[in-house]
Amino acid sequence: MTNGGVWRLLRIAALATIACAWVASPATAKAAGADAEAGKQIFQEKCTACHTIGKGNLVGPDLKGVTALRPREWLQQWIAAPDRMLAAKDPVGIALLHEFHDVPMPNLGLSAAEANALIDYLATAVPGAAVPPAEAVSAPAPATSAPAASGDPEVGKELFTGAARFRNGGPPCMACHSVGGIGALGGGQLGPDLTTVVTRFGGAAATAAFVGGSPTPTMNAVWQRTPLTADERANVVAFLAQAAISERPTQAIWRLLGLAILGLAILLVAAGWIWRRRQPDGVRLPMLARQRNTARGQPATAPRRT
C-alpha cells in the first residue's frame, strides 16, 4: 500500500473516533432529555404528514392512546428505525404495514433521545393538539384541513408537469415522479410512480397530508425550503385523484417502442454512411479473395467474411 493510502485510513479512523465520542457523550443525551415539549415540536415537524392524534387515520394510523397499546421499548425501536424492524420481520410492524396500504413508515433519522421525547409527548397529548398553529411551521396545515375536493385537476396537471410553476419555486413533480395521463414518455424515475398513489394512501386527504409534510428524506430535502401552498397542494392532489390517470393507455408503450426502433434505425443508417470507408475485413482477406476469383476467372469481387 502506498503512503497516501495509510494516511487516508488514519484520517478516517480519527474522524470516526471523534464522531463516536460526540454521539456517546452524556451532554448530548441530556440536552435532548425526556421532555414532552420537545416531543411536541418533533411531532409537528415530522409526524403530522401521516399521523393525527384523535383525528382519524391518514396514511398512517391515528396515534391516540398508542402508548397504552404498545410497550415503550417497541415504540422506541419502531420510531427510531422502522425500516430495520420491518427488515427483521417484526410481526406487529408487518401487520401494520398490511393494514395501512403497504406504505412503509420511513426512517426519519430520529435519535434515541428524540424518540423518547416523542413517546413522552404521545403519552400526554390531548386529542387534537397535534394540529399545529398556522405560524408554527412553514409547511402548510395537515390533512384534516386539506380541501382535496376543491382542487382543480387541470391546474394540478400543469403544476405536476412543470407547465405552471410552484409559487415557492419548487421543482415540478414530474422531475422525479412518473404518472399516467401526462403522455407516453412519462416522468422521472427517481421517485415512485404515482399513478395509483391516492388509492394506496387511502384517500385524497391522506395524500394531501403526505405531500404537505414531505416525510421521506428525499422529499424533505427537496421541499423543506420551498413548500407548496395549500391551493397548489389541493390542485396536485386533485389531479392525482382523477380516475382518468389511474389507467395508462397501452398503445403508448407500442408507440414508444416504435419511436425507439425508428430512431435506432436512423442512427444506424447515419453511422453506416458516415463510416462507410471502414473495412471490417481489413486488407488481406479481400486481397486473397480477389486473387482466388481471378485465378478461377470469376469477377474480382471480395466476399465478406462470415
Q: Does 297 bind other proteins (CB under 8 A)?
A: no
- Taking CA atoms, 194 is separated from 48, 75, 236, in Å, by 21, 30, 11
- Output the smallest distance, CB 260 to other proteins, in A: 22
Which of 10, 112, 288, 300 touches other proteins by CB under 8 A?
288
Among the listed ranges 86-94, 171-179, 230-238, 279-287, the one in contact with other proteins (CB under 8 A) is 279-287
Q: Does 26 bind other proteins (CB under 8 A)?
A: no
Q: Does 304 bind other proteins (CB under 8 A)?
A: no
Q: Does 260 bind other proteins (CB under 8 A)?
A: no
Q: Identify which of residues 68 and 274 has a Cβ nearer to other proteins in the complex.
A: 274
The answer to whether 52 and 58 have CB atoms below 8 angstroms apart is yes
Among the listed ranges 24-32, 91-99, 234-242, 269-277, the one in contact with other proteins (CB under 8 A) is 269-277
Q: Does 301 bind other proteins (CB under 8 A)?
A: no
What's the per-residue H, E or C state across 170-211? CCCHHHCCCCCCCCCCCCCCCCCCCCCHHHHCCCHHHHHHHH
**Measured distance CA(140)–CA(86) in Å, rounded:** 30
Count of positions (residues) in the chain: 306
For residues 239-276, one letter each, b for 16 or more C-beta atoms within 10 angstroms of the residue's C-beta and e for the rest, the string is bbbbeebbebeeeeeeeeeeeeeeeeeeeeeeeeeeee
The answer to whether 272 and 286 have CB atoms below 8 angstroms apart is no
- Output the smallest distance, CB 9 to other proteins, in A: 21
Taking CB under 8 A as the rule, which mask of x and - marks residues 167-206 in contact with other proteins? ----------------------------------------
**Measured distance CA(61)–CA(96) in Å, rounded:** 9
DSSP-assigned letter for residue 299: -
Q: Does 302 bind other proteins (CB under 8 A)?
A: no
Q: Does 296 bind other proteins (CB under 8 A)?
A: no
Which of 169, 282, 297, 299 touches other proteins by CB under 8 A?
282
Identity of the residue numbered 137: V
Q: Identify which of residues 255 and 305 has a Cβ nearer to other proteins in the complex.
A: 305
Q: Does 1 bind other proteins (CB under 8 A)?
A: no
- Output the smallest distance, CB 280 to other proteins, in A: 8
Interface residues toward other proteins, by CB under 8 A: 271, 274-275, 277-285, 287-288, 291
